[in-house]
Structure 1
Amino acid sequence: MGDLATEFEAERGHLLAVAYRMLGSRSEAEDAVQETWLRYAGALADPAARAQVQQLRAWLTTTCSRICLDVLRSARVRREAYPGQWLPEPVVRDVQTADGFAPDPAERAVRADQLGTALLVVLERLSPEQRVAFVLHDVFAVPFATVAEVLGTTPAAARQLASRGRRAVAAPDAPRHTADLAEQRRVLDAFAAAVESGELDRLVQVLAPDVMLIGDSGGHFPAGRRPVIGAEIVARFILGIYGQAGRHGGPLRARPVLVDGALGWQLETTYRDGRPLRMVCAYAVHEGRVSGVFHQLNPEKLSHLPEFGPDDVWPPRW
């Protein structure tokens, strides 16, 4: 069992990256990986059974993907009853090194493939089967024969499912996120300066014409039930949010963080009724402008955030 555990731990970061892309929830991804371990330990504890598995990563990926597919199918019912808009539970880490990598291998796996909240949001448009096919083939280069085995279909059908997922990701209304960390920082610096100035025209210049804003409060705080789209409308909305925080809330605390591998902010203030309001802001950046704004303020999805330091005040300091 010790050898099995050592082998499994070597693949845990990869499995967590696969499961998180499929599920959009760190807690659900961790549960899926743990279930994968239980099935692995149960099926391959016999040395003879283990010897028959020549490619352990492929076996584990297939098993984990099947577990995720079951979770996705049940999650669709829960998402339909979700109050307001839904955003993924963010993976939030300190900006610790010049290249933006956190030391955790799982976080490196997330960062290495330029995940970003924007992609997770678009993946929500897919059926469970399309999402699994797209993630396995297009993100992790799993052959269609294996994808078909996971989905219980033919390789040709698996190819079609991945193709539909690819078209959804490339759809004209899907927010683009193509910037490296250096460009993200330049754009977010300009964004913060424009918000701080309170000048509508200045903020509009930082936003893409078709920028999309989505807020997820889980029903705990007021939030739009549909995306806000368009540079001027989004700019007015953002200035209103920060203006209200300044007028009605306590001091606004802010710190730069990595959100799903991309630069973003962690904010905290006091809501007008006295409750603490925490928010993780993720951004998509494309061609020098913000193309997507994602506000996660559902406290049920923000239970594991880094602590603020004494110098973490608005505007964020790198």
Structure 2
Amino acid sequence: MTTRPEPDGGELDPGLSAIMSERRQLINLAYRLLGSLADAEDVVQETYTRWYAMSRAQQGAIESPGAWLTKVAGRICLDLLRSARVRRESYVGAWIPEPVPDRSEWISGRSPDPADRVTLDESVSMAFLVVLEEMTPAERVAFVLHDVFRYPFTEVAEIVGRTPGACRQLASSARRRIRDSAPAQAPAARSAEIVRSFKQAWAAKDIEALVALLDPEATGLADGGGLVSAVLDPLNGAREIARVLVELATLVPDLAFRERTVNGRPGLVAHLDGATVAVIALEVVGDRITQLWAVRNPEKLRPWTEN
């Protein structure tokens, strides 16, 4: 986003820094609402476009520019969520939220503006985002705005287009979904140990070791988006997942893995011939891996690409 000088070519708009300081908050909000960094960036760009489409007098009449930007971004996200369900009906295979690395690990061909980075916490763990995907658009927006970003229901109501009481009910329903669907994950240090053992067992093609690390009822999903090869159907059960992983390691012997932070939790990144070919998020509960999400869609791997 480029800054705009005063019409006479003099000093920059004194309110510009305040407006642009909202960018990171908007990126973080839109990513949690949409599960896509690319879409979040588009939403923020459109939000600022609408701001600068107004005259200086119109801008000056807005009491809280930050609240205005949030309202506009929230409404754009709500519209996108409503249309996303239709778009994803034609998506090839499973749709998994776009994974993001730790802020210190962004390795794409440029050093991104800090405002473009997502702040990592439990509200962006893959397990959390997957539960958000199961909510209605209104539930997701009401819950994220209120419970994650602490906006009052009076402001949430203006974005969702419902009464504050209705938004309170939406957030409560979403909260129950989170409570019922997302078991407490193991501490990060313990998860890292399990992920490391998992990587070693996978590299060794040790199917029994993999089975021991996976919960008996574990599930695995892969997202290739129809652009690259990926298992289209969910994998169910420890032995089925382990079997497919060993087959993959046998078919692609040069596949290498690195332990990385994926959406704030220990995960793995797969490399082949120097290129990032998959980002793998894992949910660890107790001492077992209960969920495995492998993102292969190259359009979702931009922040992980070295070249």
Aligned residues of 1:4 and 1:41 also touching (Cα < 8 A)? no
Would you say 1:158 and 2:167 are equivalent positions? yes
Which letter does structure 1 place at the counterpart of 2:284? V
Would you say 1:17 and 2:6 are equivalent positions? no
Which letter does structure 2 place at the counterpart of 1:268? H
Give the whole-Å Cα distance in 1 for the aligned partners of 2:134 and 2:305: 30
Give the whole-Å Cα distance in 1 for the aligned partners of 2:122 and 2:114: 15
What is the CA distance between 1:37 and its match in structure 2? Answer: 1.4
Would the alpha carbon gap of residues 113 and 58 (structure 1) be closer, same or farther in structure 2, given more than 3 Å must change? farther
Determine the structure 2 residue equivalent to 1:316: none
What is the CA distance between 1:269 and its match in structure 2? Answer: 2.6
Question: Identity across aligned pairs (percent)?
Answer: 37
Aligned residues of 2:122 and 2:128 also touching (Cα < 8 A)? no
Aligned residues of 1:181 and 1:263 also touching (Cα < 8 A)? yes
Secondary structure of the residue aligned to 2:21 is: helix
Matches within 5 A, 1:136-175: 136-171=145-180, 174=181
What is the CA distance between 1:63 and its match in structure 2? Answer: 1.8
Determine the structure 1 residue equivalent to 2:297: 298
What is the CA distance between 1:19 and its match in structure 2? Answer: 0.1
What is the CA distance between 1:223 and its match in structure 2? Answer: 3.0
Which letter does structure 2 place at the counterpart of 1:22? L
Give the whole-Å Cα distance in 1 for the aligned partners of 2:225 and 2:50: 33
| Partner deviation per Cα, 1:45-102 (whole Å, 9 max, x = no partner) | 32x7536524x433322221111111111221111111111112222357559xxxx9
Give the whole-Å Cα distance in 2 for the aligned partners of 1:14 and 1:299: 26
Determine the structure 2 residue equivalent to 1:278: 277
| Partner deviation per Cα, 1:226-245 (whole Å, 9 max, x = no partner) | 32232222222222222222
Aligned residues of 1:175 and 1:292 also touching (Cα < 8 A)? no
Would you say 1:190 and 2:189 are equivalent positions? no
Would the alpha carbon gap of residues 151 and 204 (structure 1) be closer, same or farther in structure 2, given more than 3 Å must change? same
What is the CA distance between 1:194 and its match in structure 2? Answer: 2.0
| Partner deviation per Cα, 1:15-42 (whole Å, 9 max, x = no partner) | 1010001111111100111111122334
Where has structure 1 moved over 6 Å in runs of 4 or more? none
Determine the structure 2 residue equivalent to 1:29: 40
Tell me the TM-score normalised to structure 2 length: 0.83
Which runs of 5 or more residues in structure 1 are unaligned?
A: 271-275, 309-318
Aligned residues of 1:93 and 1:306 also touching (Cα < 8 A)? no
What is the CA distance between 1:296 and its match in structure 2? Answer: 0.7
Determine the structure 2 residue equivalent to 1:87: 96
Secondary structure of the residue aligned to 2:252 is: helix
Determine the structure 1 residue equivalent to 2:109: none
Would the alpha carbon gap of residues 292 and 175 (structure 1) be closer, same or farther in structure 2, given more than 3 Å must change? farther
Would you say 1:122 and 2:131 are equivalent positions? yes
Which letter does structure 1 place at the counterpart of 2:84? A
Determine the structure 2 residue equivalent to 1:273: none
What is the CA distance between 1:188 and its match in structure 2? Answer: 0.9
Which letter does structure 1 place at the counterpart of 2:210? L
Matches within 5 A, 1:252-263: 252-263=255-266
Aligned residues of 1:175 and 1:291 also touching (Cα < 8 A)? no
Aligned residues of 1:65 and 1:132 also touching (Cα < 8 A)? yes
Give the whole-Å Cα distance in 1 for the aligned partners of 2:305 and 2:250: 25
What is the CA RMSD across the aligned residues, in angstroms? 2.7
Tell me the TM-score normalised to structure 1 length: 0.81
Secondary structure of the residue aligned to 2:304 is: coil
